[in-house]
Structure 1
Amino acid sequence: MSVSRATGPGRARATAATPPLLAATVVRELVGEIVGDRIGGRARADLTLLVNICAGELGRVLCARAPVSAAALARIENVAARWAQLDLPVDLLQRAVHAGIGTAFQQLAPTLAWSTVRTVRGNGLVLIDIVRTMSTAVSRGYVREIRALAGEQRAVVQTVTARLLAGNVAGASTSGDIEIADGYRVLAVALGQHPDEQDHRLDARVVARRKLRRVQADLATAGPGVLTQLSVDGGTLLLPLDETTGDPDDLVARLTRAAAAPVTVAMADADRDRIPQAVELAHELLDLAVRLGRGAGLYRFEDLACEYQLGRPGTANEKIRSVLAPLQTEPELERMLGEFLAAGGRVATAQRLGVPVGVLRRRLARITELTGLDPARATDLWYLRSSVIARAIHRTAHGGGAAQVLGSGAAQVYGSGAAHMHGGGAARIHGDDPDSELDAAV
């Protein structure tokens, strides 16, 4: 770099020429220090260009006391965008900016006036401003390109996911560079409310969107090929079934930590040609878990097989629900039965209800008198429990609450306190046909 002494205090006339040898030396030292020889010729050329731009602008700004030119900033942003496209590290660009400015300043410093505190301060502020401006340009160009690439990838993922959910495997295979797996683990997800969503001082919609972004960020690290279709309330995940498929319980635990809210998940595995049926099944299982208040966590088909069958519409469902029909004239008995089933014994039930055991015994005897079934007999208890579950499922599916059937205490085990979280049934999401052939997906 050639410079001449300035005529005024603190000024320097500097040309914007940086010797090619100097720039090449800076880049060689920089690359050798950080990445060794694992960088291509195009990347080295970009680093050399960046060093030259920074050195040239430093001389011009110190000479004219003018801001960094828009043309120089645009060139820096273009270099950063190219690195984002090539998935190269942005920190190397930032180091190149600092190295270029630092090396050029060492060459230029002897020509500057340092006679007063004012000139020292002025030169220092100019140097700081140049570093800040150019570093910001690198970050701006890199982030802008990353966001554009992420948007394109997100659109591709959404297209592939939608086509797989619709059963269009051929269309999904041609939608982008995402490899379609032979089989998928389908996860139906319900995201509960974050505590801050109940805080009236905060915007619940903003809190919910932040919760969703945290979950999506965690899913981005779950492995390649994970497909998602999520909203702030939940949705559907498709995980490729291969050797990289992790433990679903671990994934649910991670999502719960990321959401900082209850996460309820139901899963079903299927070949890629049977994904729509598996999605239907998974969401029905999720609906059951939520309606019956089973609590957050992961549910497989075997966890809810009995409840799934009890909830199937038809003659058997009507018959099992009719077991407790005689209690409709005395609804407090039905709620007390729900508490009894949840507590698991007379003493615990009496304590929960706050009544003497003798009163509870008379009420159970009244249930036996009306239904012909004795809660003290294992066979009769199975029918009573099945009827309670079937009626709770039926009640919540038709706009009622399971707590109306089960009682507030039993709702902790069977109730529908969280039923509003997922909506009124899988049919609202995946169609209204209750007789869909779902068993093949299991």
Structure 2
Amino acid sequence: MGGASVAGSDDRWLAEVASGASRDAGGVPVELLGDYLPLLADAAITGRRPKRAELEAVETLGRRAAEQGISAGRAVQLYLSAARRLWQDLPAVVRSRDREAVRAAAAAVLQVIDDAVATLAEGYAQARRDLVRREEALRRELVDDLLRGDSDPGALVDRAEPFGLDLTRSHQVALAAPSRRLPDTDTAITALEAVIFNRMGDRDVLVATKDGLLVVLTPADGHPGPAPAADLGRLMHDELRRLPRGGPWRVAVGRAHPGLYGIARSYEEAREALTMATRLRLETPVVNARDLLIYRVLLRDQPAIVELVHAVLSPLEQARGGAEPLLGTLQAYFDTGGVATDTAKRIHVSVRTVTYRLQRIKDLTGYNPSDPAHRFTLQAAVLGARALEWPAEPVAGPA
């Protein structure tokens, strides 16, 4: 790069200009100037504009600056400072020209500065985009392997180290599910990263996506933030609800477990909690796996819970309108602590309707919802029905 017209220029002069510009920019390596100074000198002396290949070389230098971790501001400062110093210290051959010649030289130099700085910035930005994409890909792959729990432990420890993860600690996984598919998850990830890093620190925290869900992996012990890890779900939901798209959100938080395989266990609990919350038609936007352990107990012996639902609740299908209205009333009645007025408000009917339905349930099933001796059986049957998605999905009676 650089024309023959500057081949005999004072190399020591240009080296001094480069050295001064490097100091002005906080020690940015002079190598990142490449042949930029000869380009400027050429423009001042001959008015020559840079060729395409010369600008492509500047773009490469911009990429190199990004890869070396030099800020864009310092890289641009290096180029602007070099141009200022070069113009101030131009050889006497330029300073002795007439006014029009000096004006033409200045215009040529400014054009080179404009082209070079714009090209440098574009190269820098492209490199940063590539670095971000590579880091995102590595993060997604790491999260996938951590959540799957069947990868080589030694390799995972090495891969987790650059992200600040200490896999010997206890971690918990939280999942956020939008009500509809997000066209772009970057905004949601950025929002979650900002609030979680602020509260818990940026070490030992990962935010990523998997299967259409936002995934947050955080330590569950000894973090410096004021909010305990148990509040992770509420913290996430409060931030996500501010986004213009994706809501309403549902967040599920798995329990904390130690070690590498504890991460996969917490993830499975969070996924199961999301599924169960949907089946049970829970109104709360944040669910914790520990609060749904009773459903896991119920479903562990599925033949027994199927038999319970069939034996206790199947008579409700004889009611006008089917079993669902009565089942919904029963669930709301238990959720409100057996208060008919609160039940009516929750399901948007009159108290009289609630009273009638409770009596109808008693008549059909033989179980009285207001009788403590019957309540446990009815409530267990209702929980099982929701978990089995009955009556939408039929359950078979005993063989």
Q: TM-score, normalised by structure 1?
A: 0.67
Q: Contact 1:188–1:236 at 8 Å: present in 2 too?
A: yes
For 1:167, the aligned partner's letter is D
For 1:333, the aligned partner's letter is L
SS in 2 for 1:395: coil
In the other structure, the counterpart of 2:397 is: none
Per-residue CA distance 1:207-231 (angstroms, 9 max, x = gap):
3444455357649956234445514
Shift of residue 284 of structure 1?
1.0
Residues 268, 339 of structure 1: CA spacing in aligned structure 2 closer, same or farther, 3 A cutoff?
closer
Q: How do residues 45-60 of structure 1 correspond to structure 2 at under 5 angstroms?
A: 45-46=30-31, 49=33, 53-60=35-42
Which of 182, 206, 209 does residue 168 from structure 2 map onto? 182
Q: Contact 1:228–1:237 at 8 Å: present in 2 too?
A: yes
Shift of residue 188 of structure 1?
4.1
Residues 380, 132 of structure 1: CA spacing in aligned structure 2 closer, same or farther, 3 A cutoff?
farther
1:376 pairs with 2:352: no
1:312 pairs with 2:307: no
After TM superposition, the structure 1 stretch with the greater mean CA deviation from structure 2, 379-388 or 251-260, is: 251-260
Residues 279, 21 of structure 1: CA spacing in aligned structure 2 closer, same or farther, 3 A cutoff?
closer
1:149 pairs with 2:131: yes
CA distance in 2, matches of 1:242, 1:138: 45
Shift of residue 368 of structure 1?
1.3
For 2:43, the aligned partner's letter is V
CA distance in 2, matches of 1:132, 1:291: 61
Which of 55, 67, 79 does residue 85 from structure 1 map onto? 67
Residues 21, 335 of structure 1: CA spacing in aligned structure 2 closer, same or farther, 3 A cutoff?
closer
In the other structure, the counterpart of 1:136 is: 118
In the other structure, the counterpart of 2:150 is: 167
Residues 220, 125 of structure 1: CA spacing in aligned structure 2 closer, same or farther, 3 A cutoff?
farther
For 2:18, the aligned partner's letter is A
Shift of residue 391 of structure 1?
0.7
In the other structure, the counterpart of 1:21 is: 16
1:191 pairs with 2:186: no
Q: How do residues 97-136 of structure 1 correspond to structure 2 at under 5 angstroms?
A: 97-108=79-90, 110-111=95-96, 113-115=98-100, 126-136=108-118
Residues 336, 241 of structure 1: CA spacing in aligned structure 2 closer, same or farther, 3 A cutoff?
closer
Q: How do residues 223-242 of structure 1 correspond to structure 2 at under 5 angstroms?
A: 223-227=202-206, 230-231=209-210, 233-234=212-213, 236-240=215-219
Shift of residue 390 of structure 1?
1.7
CA distance in 2, matches of 1:174, 1:288: 35
Shift of residue 134 of structure 1?
1.7
Which of 360, 365, 368 does residue 366 from structure 1 map onto? 360
SS in 2 for 1:268: coil
1:326 pairs with 2:315: yes
After TM superposition, the structure 1 stretch with the greater mean CA deviation from structure 2, 269-278 or 87-96, is: 269-278
In the other structure, the counterpart of 1:269 is: 256
CA distance in 1, matches of 2:53, 2:10: 16
Shift of residue 185 of structure 1?
1.9
Residues 68, 177 of structure 1: CA spacing in aligned structure 2 closer, same or farther, 3 A cutoff?
farther
Q: Contact 2:149–2:261 at 8 Å: present in 1 too?
A: no
CA distance in 2, matches of 1:132, 1:89: 19
CA distance in 2, matches of 1:193, 1:114: 69
Tell me how large the CA RMSD over aligned residues is.
3.9
CA distance in 1, matches of 2:210, 2:273: 19
SS in 2 for 1:385: helix
CA distance in 2, matches of 1:76, 1:181: 42
SS in 2 for 1:380: helix
Shift of residue 189 of structure 1?
1.1
Q: Contact 2:205–2:219 at 8 Å: present in 1 too?
A: yes
After TM superposition, the structure 1 stretch with the greater mean CA deviation from structure 2, 382-391 or 12-21, is: 12-21
CA distance in 1, matches of 2:66, 2:156: 27
CA distance in 2, matches of 1:26, 1:354: 73
Q: Contact 1:68–1:130 at 8 Å: present in 2 too?
A: yes
Q: TM-score, normalised by structure 2?
A: 0.73
After TM superposition, the structure 1 stretch with the greater mean CA deviation from structure 2, 384-393 or 53-62, is: 53-62
In the other structure, the counterpart of 2:291 is: 303
CA distance in 2, matches of 1:146, 1:13: 34
Shift of residue 167 of structure 1?
2.5
Per-residue CA distance 1:156-182 (angstroms, 9 max, x = gap):
434433333232213423557546511
Per-residue CA distance 1:17-70 (angstroms, 9 max, x = gap):
560334323333x14xxx4xxx5xxx44336x45xx443222323444443234
Share of identical aligned residues, percent? 18
User: Gapped runs of 5+ residues in structure 1?
Assistant: 1-11, 198-204, 402-442
In the other structure, the counterpart of 1:256 is: 240
Residues 235, 89 of structure 1: CA spacing in aligned structure 2 closer, same or farther, 3 A cutoff?
closer
Q: Contact 2:47–2:105 at 8 Å: present in 1 too?
A: no
Residues 377, 190 of structure 1: CA spacing in aligned structure 2 closer, same or farther, 3 A cutoff?
same
Shift of residue 342 of structure 1?
5.0
Q: Contact 1:189–1:237 at 8 Å: present in 2 too?
A: yes
SS in 2 for 1:223: coil
Shift of residue 372 of structure 1?
2.3
